[in-house]
Amino acid sequence: MSLERIWAGWRAAYIDSVTSEPSKDTDCLFCSLATADSDEVFVVARDELVFAVMNAYPYVSGHLMLAPIRHEAELEGLGDDEAAALMAITQRATTALKAAYGPDGLNVGANLGRAAGAGVPGHVHLHALPRWGGDTNFMTTVAEIRVLPEDLRTSWQRLKDAWPA
């Protein structure tokens, strides 16, 4: 199977999951990822409050998403404990990304609301991705489907190996 076909499969599944607004938690991609088998959905780390998962529709190899376990749409809706845990797991993500990829820089951020580019506006999440000098600017990167040099399982394994204890 070609890499292109593998990616096409991921994209189809992902697009199916985000084309309609979740009407309840069980329809939410992030709620599904939060409870699914880590090896099947490429969860890199998970605790009782937050988790880190590979983006199945990455802008670049190593693209991680960090989210609370609890279904919550608004960043300001997170409890202090969840907000602290989300930042802590984001710090571990940046540590792992630097160790695994040696990037020139990182983008860390959130798209809050569909108008801001959120694919899953109902469940707040952060993105963390490696960047290199000379790659496309962030807005271009997030708007384009890109050809990726590394499959998700490889990225997942690299980041798990580099994840700080």
What amino acid positions are annotated as catalytic residues?
125
Based on the shown chain and the rule CB under 5 A, indicate whether residue 31 belongs to the binding site for Zn ion: yes
Q: Give the nearest distance from C-beta 57 to Zn ion in angstroms.
A: 17
Among 6, 10, 18, 71, interactor with Zn ion by CB under 5 A:
71
The dihedral sign for the CA sequence 43, 44, 45, 49 = negative
Residue closer to Zn ion, measured from CB, 82 or 97: 82
Count of chain residues binding Zn ion (CB under 5 A)? 5
76 Ramachandran zone, left/alpha/beta (phi>0; psi -120 to 50): alpha
63 binds Zn ion (CB under 5 A): no
CB of 34 to Zn ion, least distance (A): 7
The answer to the question of residue 41 lying near Zn ion (CB under 5 A) is no
Query: Measured between alpha carbons, how far is 89 from 158 in angstroms, rounded to an integer?
Result: 17
86 binds Zn ion (CB under 5 A): no
Q: How far is CA 151 from CA 12, 61, 86, in A?
A: 16, 8, 26
Interaction pattern, residues 114-133, with Zn ion; x per rule: CB under 5 A: ---------x----------
